[in-house]
Amino acid sequence: MKKTEYPRLQETVFEEVLPNGLNIRVLQKKDFAKKYAFFATNYGSVDTTFEIDGKWMRSPDGVAHYLEHKMFDMPDGSADSVFARNGASPNAFTSYGMTAYYFSCTENFLLNLKTLISFVSTPYFTAESVEKERGIIAQEIRMYEDNAETSVSEKLFNALYEHHPVRVPIAGSVESIGEITPQTLYDCHKAFYDPSNMMLCVAGDVDPEEVVRTARELLPQTSGGVSNRSYGEEEQLDKEPKTVRMQMDISMPTFEVGFRCEAPKKGDDTMKQEIIGDLAAEILVGESSPLYTRLVEQGLINPDFSAGFESVKGVAMLSAGGDSDDPEQVVELILQEAERIGREGFDSDLFRRLKKSAIGRRTRDLDSFESICYRMCAYFFDGVDFLRFPEAYDAVDEQQVQEFLRRVVRRERMALSVIDPIKEDESIVG
Amino acid sequence: MEQRSEILPGVYLHSVTTGKFKTGCFSINFLRPHGKKEAALNALVPSVLLRGSEHHPDIASISNALDELYGATVGTLVRKKGGVQMTGLYCDYIEDCYVPAGEEIFARAAEFTAELLLSPRLENGAFCSMPVQGEKRNLINAIEGQKNDKRSYLVEQLIAEMFRGEEFGVPRLGEVEDVEAITPESLYAHYRDILASSYVEIFYMGRKTHEEATEIFRAALRTLPRSAPFTSYAVGEIKQKTTDVKTHTINMDVTQGKLAIGLSTGCGVEEAGYPALMLLNVVLGAGITSKLFINVREKRSLCYYVSSSLDKYRGIMLISSGVDFDKLDITREAILQEVDSCRRGEISEEELKNAKHLALTALETMRDAPGRLDDFYLGMAICPKMPGVDALIEEIRTLEIPQLVRAAQKIECDTVFYLRGMDA
């Protein structure tokens, strides 16, 4: 078992790769009552087109999320009740890029770990149970449709890209999930829930050797291979700017603006590009920037405003958003400021402070088991060791950030998504 | 190690000394009687304080100072517990052992937070008018913006209705008309009064001992004005049961219907029956082994979410769910049937065991979660007879089904709120 020390973070990670390709990492956290395990597959809502048994298949939108709901079913009942008996609280989520299953507990850790590994590696779907879930997921989709924050991002992704499946909401639509059958779920499980496409992360006061032994005993000895996937034609980065608007029963307009970036290459480049993108967002319109103070003082943004960089399998963007009575004016000022910084550069002292701040905050994030395990997996799927972030920050310089802003924050890279309140106040209380 | 003591007149420090986190944190809370008179003022003060101080006159300079402290955070904290409103600031920061030797981040973070708290930027002897105007607008947007999240909005409307005419019915952040009436002068006068006349609760969790933390907070708060007697506050009476159930409907442009049910529990947090009620709530509607989750969601596929929670200070239970418009009545019935089944004693040993596991894990992991612990101790500060973490753990271990059934028999449905579409 490999043991890696991270002196700047004062953390130690135990790592093992099983012959079937599963990567296991354990972060020992003494003095905590909580124990946490996170089992993730590099399969998210965007992985809809893939090769299985030599044939290309296009699965219905929302299938990764549907599968996540149905994985808890086991031939002898629901995994939920097994966890409950052993005192664990399990949960799961599906994002654009991954599906993850996890639990936390204070006792019976190994028993619960067994349950986690078993149910995630055991596909069991019947026509009846798949049918039954449709009503529940339809209600979940309706809930997101009424949520302005989710909707504004979904519409933005849809406007930014023409081909990439990030255009489609993670849960799909009430119509698309209508096409899902037990066979769809079996196919997707076979294609993506192979140990070599997965990672198991554990945090807490546990014995790493026992974690590895448990996984080794329960999972297949060898890998069955992982499907090839396609995300459609390459996206064009420069084109006509686009604005999409809709109305909802909300109190003030909410918006999100996005700028298309070059997608990072797998490996160290992923972390480097993300750090450059995040620092660029901070320099441009983060809380310490001159523009942020100006926007607040002019009453154009409120404390909900935020900006950052994100990437999902083949696409990446810098985005900023929040509530504003005049989203267009906010976007105008952001574009002007980016243009000014591209021309004049920025205060070196601000850059130094922002790096110091970012490293400090990310280090503090390691107190959260949820955050560590999620990030270890997300970066691992992109081919990077997350805990190397302090060194990655050291390597980024001012010129890279300035060049990024000059290249990315331009009208040709932009789409804007706005949700306006419904004009007249039509709400009635009776 | 946990300790509590009065470090300045009317200022109490509750410290938890631990070396397991990379983040240290503290909150400074001013305790006020909650009600129409000052809810909006109390909610506005901390936001205005974060707009500028004597030495850090604007957001950028405050933010730069926090960056220099390796990305420390200072934020506003406005809470409502029963009849008590708590207003103040919190701070979290990196522990000294993760930064170059000799840098004392905690002491500097405490000094900095105290500077924001005690030395605001002034003009003509009051708060500067521009930040006050801006933060008034933000607060009004926050109050009006509650309707953006339909689930919590409906629950808020339900609570307001259940306590109509009482101070507790006033929302946590106050009401729009009261925010509009605030001037820089009236806010400043209220702020000076809060500083001098409130009881103050400080929660600290980090590597310093109680004595070290006491010294640092005493120094940081040396200019805090203190004039006893301090303003008293009361958690208030618990909700009395009613005989007729009231139903209200709100119409909005939505695609999903929602319902919120408010029940009186007949039991407050300082009463002997509280641990049984807490466990009953888990059996009924907390987590994936609860009656509501299994019978209303899993067996009948009526909804994606359905859960219950307690307001332990006011003796109420809140149940909420999201369903199709035409399923609202069926779901209401299905939910109330589950409450009835608890009253009839239909709780199995397995349900009891699952609920105990869930409740105990939540309590045992509280010391792993500074934010939850802060909130718990603040509750204890205003309800001194409330059982502590260890006492609750002890008591929950010993509970049996009949005690849960007795708790259920005191629960009565009080008010139901529906959210429907414009023409549903």
Question: B292 to each of A41, B158, B336, B361, B401, how far by Cα in Å?
Answer: 30, 20, 10, 20, 18
What is the distance in angstroms between the Cα of A430 and the nearest Cα belonging to chain B?
6
pLDDT tens column, A8-38: 999 999 999 999 999 999 999 989 999 999 9
| C-alpha to C-alpha distance for A350 and B68, rounded to whole angstroms | 10
B60/A84 touch (CB, cutoff 8 Å), yes or no: no
Q: Which of A68, A282, A310, A337 does the annotation list as catalytic?
A: A68
Is B60 part of the contact surface with chain A (CB cutoff 8 Å)? yes
Closest CA to A307 of A325, A291, A294: A291
Q: What is the pLDDT of residue A429?
A: 47
Indicate the SS3 state at residue B201: strand
Tokens in use for A423? 């004009």
pLDDT at A157 over 60: yes
- For residue B400, how many other CB atoms are within 10 A of its CB? 10
| C-alpha to C-alpha distance for B121 and B2, rounded to whole angstroms | 36
Are A46 and A105 in contact by the 8 Å Cβ rule? The answer is no
The pTM (predicted TM-score) of the whole model is 0.93
B288/A84 touch (CB, cutoff 8 Å), yes or no: yes
- For B59, which of A80, A292, A357 is closest by C-beta distance? A292
pLDDT at A424 over 70: no
Beta bridge partners of A57: A50
Q: What is the pLDDT of residue B424?
A: 60
Q: Provide the ipTM.
A: 0.91
Q: Is-catalytic flag, A107?
A: no
Tokens in use for B87? 């207003």
Q: In chain B, what residues touch A251 (CB-CB under 8 Å)?
A: 141, 144-145, 147-148
- For residue A127, how many other CB atoms are within 10 A of its CB? 10
| C-alpha to C-alpha distance for B365 and B367, rounded to whole angstroms | 5
Q: What is the pLDDT of residue A49?
A: 96
Q: What is the pLDDT of residue A428?
A: 46
Is A359 part of the contact surface with chain B (CB cutoff 8 Å)? yes
| C-alpha to C-alpha distance for A221 and B201, rounded to whole angstroms | 57
Beta bridge partners of B257: B323
| C-alpha to C-alpha distance for B33 and B197, rounded to whole angstroms | 12
Query: Count of alpha carbons within 13 Å of A187, Cβ hemisphere only?
Result: 20
Q: What is the pLDDT of residue B255?
A: 87
Are B184 and B132 in contact by the 8 Å Cβ rule? The answer is yes
Backbone angles phi, psi at A12, to 5 degrees: -130, 130
Q: Is A216 exposed, middle or buried (0-12, 13-18, 19+ CB in 10 A)?
A: middle
Cis peptide before A169 (omega within 30 of 0): no
What is the distance in angstroms between the Cα of B286 and the nearest Cα belonging to chain A?
11
What is the distance in angstroms between the Cα of B200 and the nearest Cα belonging to chain A?
26
Size of interface A-B (CB pairs under 8 A): 191
Calculate what percentage of chain A has a pLDDT beyond 70: 98
Beta bridge partners of A38: A102, A201
Is A316 part of the contact surface with chain B (CB cutoff 8 Å)? no
Closest CA to B13 of B383, B381, B391, B388: B381
Q: What is the mean pLDDT of residues A226-235?
A: 93
Are A206 and A215 in contact by the 8 Å Cβ rule? The answer is no
Is A347 part of the contact surface with chain B (CB cutoff 8 Å)? no
- For B289, which of A81, A302, A422 is closest by C-beta distance? A81
Is B9 part of the contact surface with chain A (CB cutoff 8 Å)? no
Is A132 part of the contact surface with chain B (CB cutoff 8 Å)? yes
Q: What is the pLDDT of residue B304?
A: 85
| C-alpha to C-alpha distance for B208 and B24, rounded to whole angstroms | 9
Q: What is the mean pLDDT of residues A401-428?
A: 88
- For residue B100, how many other CB atoms are within 10 A of its CB? 7
User: Would you say how long chain B is, in residues?
Assistant: 424
| C-alpha to C-alpha distance for A378 and A364, rounded to whole angstroms | 18
B147/A250 touch (CB, cutoff 8 Å), yes or no: yes
Q: What is the mean pLDDT of residues A100-124?
A: 97
Q: Give the 3-state secondary structure percentages of chain A, helix then strand then coil, rounded to 5.
A: 45, 25, 35
pLDDT at A425 over 70: no
B147/A80 touch (CB, cutoff 8 Å), yes or no: no
Residue numbers of B between 196 and 235 with CB closer than 8 Å to A:
none
A302/B323 touch (CB, cutoff 8 Å), yes or no: no
| C-alpha to C-alpha distance for B420 and B248, rounded to whole angstroms | 11
pLDDT at A426 over 60: no
Q: What is the pLDDT of residue B145?
A: 87
| C-alpha to C-alpha distance for B99 and A425, rounded to whole angstroms | 53
What is the distance in angstroms between the Cα of B166 and the nearest Cα belonging to chain A?
20
pLDDT at A51 over 70: yes
Q: What is the pLDDT of residue B226?
A: 96
Q: Which residues contact residue A411 at a Cβ distance below 8 angstroms, ignoring those fewer than 6 apart?
A: A241, A335
Q: Which residues contact residue B101 at a Cβ distance below 8 angstroms, ignoring those fewer than 6 apart?
A: none
Antiparallel, parallel or unpaired: β B11-17 and B199-206: parallel
pLDDT tens column, A281-313: 999 999 999 999 999 999 999 989 999 999 999
Average the pLDDT over each of A73-77, A238-242, B10-14, B165-169 and give the range with the smallest value: B165-169
**C-alpha angle A317-A319-A325 in degrees, rounded to nearest 5:** 155
Residue numbers of B between 301 and 360 with CB closer than 8 Å to A:
301-305, 322-324, 350, 353-354, 357-358, 360
Q: Which residues contact residue A73 at a Cβ distance below 8 angstroms, ignoring those fewer than 6 apart?
A: A79, A124, A125, A126, A129
Indicate the SS3 state at residue B344: coil
Are B135 and B127 in contact by the 8 Å Cβ rule? The answer is no
Q: In chain A, what residues touch B72 (CB-CB under 8 Å)?
A: 360
pLDDT tens column, B252-283: 988 889 999 999 999 999 999 999 999 999 99
| C-alpha to C-alpha distance for B19 and B27, rounded to whole angstroms | 18
Q: What is the pLDDT of residue A430?
A: 40
| C-alpha to C-alpha distance for A27 and A206, rounded to whole angstroms | 9
Tokens in use for B260? 């919120």
Mean pLDDT by 10 residues, chain B (424 residues): 95 96 97 96 98 96 97 97 96 95 94 98 96 96 89 93 90 95 98 98 98 98 95 91 91 92 96 97 93 89 90 96 92 96 96 94 93 95 94 97 98 96 78
Is B137 part of the contact surface with chain A (CB cutoff 8 Å)? yes
A273 Ramachandran zone, left/alpha/beta (phi>0; psi -120 to 50) = alpha
